[in-house]
Each structure stands twice: as structure tokens, then as C-alpha cells.
């Protein structure tokens, strides 16, 4: 579609019957810490707490009377679903929404409250979309795509129009979360034609990088699976039109992890007292990463805070991981001699620093292993602390970036057993929903003895389980075949040094 058509479509988009022009708010604390002016485009303040109602309403307002009379259908992890349900309510038409069974209950309930018919199917947006396509044909409904549609893209593009109207002074870059690409395509299609000097930078969660991999390959790449922490951007295959626009207009795509995302949620809460959902905080996490990697200062950076449909029970997980993501906690495994005075010397090296976690248990005649978390102000401090431990003759492993240590091991320290012969250790992820753990346990009935099991409900969309099993070396091939039949993502942690020390 010609570029000028997008400019016209955005300028004439029918979004303001339901959407507000959201403020472009300063983030003073974050700005001070980053040494740049950070402005937040507050799409979390829309009636459905995300930007999605813009594109959904613009699409449905442009349907013919006959198309609306047949009713509409959409597939969504939650935010697009709420936008379609709201638009259908205002326009007086029937709406059917297919949502992944992993969609947060908060979003499912919000869609139901607006009168839409809900069908739960599959574990990702792509699964739900396939079901919606079937139902569209069966029921003769009109499909409202969450991102790969010119009217939807144009509706989201009104955000870019508002940003430039609200801030006429120079802007170095605009950071935008990417799932299927509708939001960034619309913003970029407008901004790059009006202010081409502004960099448009996409941000993806490390578990859902379909757009980045597509850009690197030069064609759309479909992922085998996606992570569900940032459920609003969990898309296996980006759109044809959104991919075309991203290739043409987007300057760069950054990838952030869960810890960085949780830290960004905390940053926005500190400045606004608003709790963003993970997808809503990706742009802020990307802006922080960009400042760290480029060293820029005294520039104006805009981040689109695109959603605030946060499940309350996820807050525990977010709070726990935010400190590491903000480089405010370092975690170490330290080996000290089991001799008089060693423990006192170790405590002296920790000094007056805030200790966030401390686990110690005598484990042998020669050495003792300590698991310790220490509050820090910047990542470089962790290196200095580790060097101080090593300098005192204490063997030290920095576990700050070790997923096993952060999720499981800190709750299991001291669990060595002489009975656990031939033990192998694996981490498993499964979609978290009612009954998911029991379903996992029913499948975990191997021929080998389970010697360790740890599960904790972290409030995340992924259930995380640590399993130890006693598998003799002669059975390893058979065991690998067993793992391949489970259908869960897994990681072999048998050689993890933290496991060797503590478990």
C-alpha cells in the first residue's frame, strides 16, 4: 500500500469516539538516573488500559453495515480482545473472541464484562488465531485482525501523530514494544514521513523475537514456540504488512529479558504509581538498555507504555526479579574453609551492604558453601565484591545471571543427599493455568526415581519446575527419548556449578 495512503488513513482514523488523546508524561526519576529526558506515552490510561482499542475501533468503524450485522470475530491474548469487545459494544454488533487458554484471568474477565462471547483455545496467539479462522468461515463472521490490517495499523498510528503534536521539540528516539508489529508499524509510518530524523526503535522480549528474526532473515520467520511472560507480545508469526513496514521504517530492534522488564515495571511505578503489564513495559526496558549501550546523554527519549492489564498475583514474581533487573542485587556462591574464623572473615567482607538473602549450611569437613544476595547500586559493584571474596581466598561464583539460582536454588540451599546417586537435574517450563501442575505430574511418571522436585507459583504465566531423577549412565539414551515425548520446554542443569555446590 502506498506510503501516502497510511498518512491519510492515520490523519482520518476514527479512533476518538472511544479513545482519548493520552498524555506524554515526564518520568523524572528515570530521567535523572538515565541522564536523558524520558517521556512516557501513557496508553495505559485508555479505557481498556491499552492502546488496542484504537486499531480495533478504526477497523470496525470502517466496516460496511452488512459486515457489522454479521458480527465480528478476533483472536487475542487479551488487550486486542478488550478493544474489539468495547468497539462492538459501542457499534452495536456481536463479537466472538478466541483467546489462548494461557491468557491472564484479568483480561478474560474484562472481555466477558463487555458482553463478548469468549472461546478459549490453544496456548498462544497463533493457536487462538487458527481457531478464529475456522470459526470465521463456519459462522460467517467478519475477522478483525489484531495487527496485520491497514485500518488497524492506521488506528495505532494515531499515537505517533499525537506524540509529534504534543512534543514539537527534538526527539532522539521513540521506543515501541513489538508483538505482531501493528503498533510500531503505525507509529513508524506516520513519524518517518513527518519527522524522519527521529529513530524508531522496537523492543521485544527474549522469548518472543519473531520480528527480529524475520528482519535478520529478510523474510518472515515463524517461531516454534514463544514465552508467555510478556503475553501481550507472544506472537509466533508477524504480519505481512507489518513486516514490510518495519523493514522500511524501523531503525533497530532491541531484545530485553525478564529481569530488565520487571525493573522497567518498577521504574514506571516509581514515577507514576501505575503498574504496567510486562508487554506494556518493554519500551521502557528498551530505552534503558539503549542508554547503557550507547552512552547517550541529554537527549529526549519517548517510550510508549502500551498496557497495564497486570494480573495481581504476578506482582510477587515481578518484585522479586526487579532488583536483579535493575542491577540492585547480586547473588553469589562462596566457598569458605571450614576452619575457625573463616565465617567471621567472610561476614566482614560483606560489610555494611544490604544482604537480601543468606543461606549457609555445613556440608563437609573441609569446606562450607554460602549462598548470599547483596544489594548493589550498579552491576560493576558485583564484580568488585566477587574480587574481594576471591582476594580473601574464598572461591566465588557470580550467580546474578543464573536462571537456576534465581528461580529455584535460592529456596533449596542445603539439600545435598548421599542417597541421590546417578542424579540428573532438569528445569521444565509449562503454561501456568489451573490444573497445569497436576497435568505435569501425571506425565512425569518415568521409570527412574525422582530424587528432587521443586515448584513454586511465582505469579508468572510459566510454571517452573526443577526435577532431579536417578538415571544410570546406561539409561541416558532411553531417558532422552522420554524427555522428547513430554512436550515441555526443558534445560539440562546437571553440570550447573551452583547445583554441584548446594544440591
Per-residue pLDDT tens over the stretch 277-301: 999 999 999 999 999 999 999 999 9
Please say whether the beta carbons of 229 and 198 come within 8 A. Answer: no
Comparing CA positions, the residue from 342, 359, 203 lying closest to residue 276 is 203
* Residue 259 reports pLDDT greater than 50: yes
Q: Which residues have CB under 8 Å from 399's CB, separation 6+?
A: 331, 332, 333, 371, 405, 406, 409, 498
**In this structure, CATH architecture of domain 417-502:** 3-Layer(aba) Sandwich (3.40)
Task: Write the DSSP symbol of residue 474.
Answer: G
- Residue 4 pLDDT > 80: no
Residue given cell 478464529 in the structure block: 132
Nearest to 204 by CA among 303, 317, 283: 283
22-26 average pLDDT score: 98
pLDDT in tens, 261-280: 999 999 999 999 999 999 99
Give span(s): CATH 3.40.1020.10, the chain: 417-502
Q: Does residue 71 surpass a pLDDT of 50?
A: yes
Angle at 266 between CA 332 and CA 230, to 5 degrees: 90
Beta bridge partners of 427: 466, 491
More confident residue, 111 or 190: 190
Q: Taking 50 as the threshold, does the pLDDT of residue 183 lie above it?
A: yes
The predicted model gives 411-440 an average pLDDT of 73
Q: What pLDDT, on a 0 to 100 scale, did the predictor assign at position 484?
A: 85
Q: Which three three-digit cell numbers place residue 192?
A: 518517518
Domain 54-143 adopts which CATH fold?
A: Rossmann fold (3.40.50)
In the predicted structure, residue 427 carries a pLDDT above the cut 80: yes
For 17, other C-beta atoms within 10 Å of its C-beta total: 12
Residue ranges of the chain that CATH labels 3.30.70.260: 327-401
Q: What percent of the chain has pLDDT over 70?
A: 92
CATH architecture, domain defined by 3-51+150-324: 3-Layer(aba) Sandwich (3.40)
Give yes or no for residue 313 having a pLDDT over 60: yes
448: Cβ contacts below 8 Å, ≥ 6 apart: 469, 470, 471, 475, 479
Would you state the pLDDT for residue 185?
98
Q: Is the dihedral of CA 170, 176, 181, 183 positive or negative?
A: negative
What's the burial of 173, exposed, middle or buried (CB within 10 Å: 0-12/13-18/19+)? buried
Nearest to 478 by CA among 435, 447, 433: 447
Question: Which region among 37-51, 80-94, 367-381, 391-405 has the lowest average model confidence (pLDDT)?
Answer: 367-381
Among the ranges given (62-71, 145-154, 196-205, 375-384), the one the predictor scored with the smallest mean pLDDT = 375-384
- pTM recorded for the entire structure: 0.77
Q: Does domain 327-401 have CATH number 3.40.50.2000?
A: no
The band of 455, judged by pLDDT with boundaries at 50, 70 and 90, is low
Average pLDDT of the segment spanning 418-429: 84
The answer to whether the CB of 467 falls within 8 A of the CB of 450 is yes
pLDDT for res 340: 67
Instruction: Return d(Cα 269, Cα 319) in angstroms, integer.
Output: 11
pLDDT, residue 442, reads 67
Amino acid at each position: 500500500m502506498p506510503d501516502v495512503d497510511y498518512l491519510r488513513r492515520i490523519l482520518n482514523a476514527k479512533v476518538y469516539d472511544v479513545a482519548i488523546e493520552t498524555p506524554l508524561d515526564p518520568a523524572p526519576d528515570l530521567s535523572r538516573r538515565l541522564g536523558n529526558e524520558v517521556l512516557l506515552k501513557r496508553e495505559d490510561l485508555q479505557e481498556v488500559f491499552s492502546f488496542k482499542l484504537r486499531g480495533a475501533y478504526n477497523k470496525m468503524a470502517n466496516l460496511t453495515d452488512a459486515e457489522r450485522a454479521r458480527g465480528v470475530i478476533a483472536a487475542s491474548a487479551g488487550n486486542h480482545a478488550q478493544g474489539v469487545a468495547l468497539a462492538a459494544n459501542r457499534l452495536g454488533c456481536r463479537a466472538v473472541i478466541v483467546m489462548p487458554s494461557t491468557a491472564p484471568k484479568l483480561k478474560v474477565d474484562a472481555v466477558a464484562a463487555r458482553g463478548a462471547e469468549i472461546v478459549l483455545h490453544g496456548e498462544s496467539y497463533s493457536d487462538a488465531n487458527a481457531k478464529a479462522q475456522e470459526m470465521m468461515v463456519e459462522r460467517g463472521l467478519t475477522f478483525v485482525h489484531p495487527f496485520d490490517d491497514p485500518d488497524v495499523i492506521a488506528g495505532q498510528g494515531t499515537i505517533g501523530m499525537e506524540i509529534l503534536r504534543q512534543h514539537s521539540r527534538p526527539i532522539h528516539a521513540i521506543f515501541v514494544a513489538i508483538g505482531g508489529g501493528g503498533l510500531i508499524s503505525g507509529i513508524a509510518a506516520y513519524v518517518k514521513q513527518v519527522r524522519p530524523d527521529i529513530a524508531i526503535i522496537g523492543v521485544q522480549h527474549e522469548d518472543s523475537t519473531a520480528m527480529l528474526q524475520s528482519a535478520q532473515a529478510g523474510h518472515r520467520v515463524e517461531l516454534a514456540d514463544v514465552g508467555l511472560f510478556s503475553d501481550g507480545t507472544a506472537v509466533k508469526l508477524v504480519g505481512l504488512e507489518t513486516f514490510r513496514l518495519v523493514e522500511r521504517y524501523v531503525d533497530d530492534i532491541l531484545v530485553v529479558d525478564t529481569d530488565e522488564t520487571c525493573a522497567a515495571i518498577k521504574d514506571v511505578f516509581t514515577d507514576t504509581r501505575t503498574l504496567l503489564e510486562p508487554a506494556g513495559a518493554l519500551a521502557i526496558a528498551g530505552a534503558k538498555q539503549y542508554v547503557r549501550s550507547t552512552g547517550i546523554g541529554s537527549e529526549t527519549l519517548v517510550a510508549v507504555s502500551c498496557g497495564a492489564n497486570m494480573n495481581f498475583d504476578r506482582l510477587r514474581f515481578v518484585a522479586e526479579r526487579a532488583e536483579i533487573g535493575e542491577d540492585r542485587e547480586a547473588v553469589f556462591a562462596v566457598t569458605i574453609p571450614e576452619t575457625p574464623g573463616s565465617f567471621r572473615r567472610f561476614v566482614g567482607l560483606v560489610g555494611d551492604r544490604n544482604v537480601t538473602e543468606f543461606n549457609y549450611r555445613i556440608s563437609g569437613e573441609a569446606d562450607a558453601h554460602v549462598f548470599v544476595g547483596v544489594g548493589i547500586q550498579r552491576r560493576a559493584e558485583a564484580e568488585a565484591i566477587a574480587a574481594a571474596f576471591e582476594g580473601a581466598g574464598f572461591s566465588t561464583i557470580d550467580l546474578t545471571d543464573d536462571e537456576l539460582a534465581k528461580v529455584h536454588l535460592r529456596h533449596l540451599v542445603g539439600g545435598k543427599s548421599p542417597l541421590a546417586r546417578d542424579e540428573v537435574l532438569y528445569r521444565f517450563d509449562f503454561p501456568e493455568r489451573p490444573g497445569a501442575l497436576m497435568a505435569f505430574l501425571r506425565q512425569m511418571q518415568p521409570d527412574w526415581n525422582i530424587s528432587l522436585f521443586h515448584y513454586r507459583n511465582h505469579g508468572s504465566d510459566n510454571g517452573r519446575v526443577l526435577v532431579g531423577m536417578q538415571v544410570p549412565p546406561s539409561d541416558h539414551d532411553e531417558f532422552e527419548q522420554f524427555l522428547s515425548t513430554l512436550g515441555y520446554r526443558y534445560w539440562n542443569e546437571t553440570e550447573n556449578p551452583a547445583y554441584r555446590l548446594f544440591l
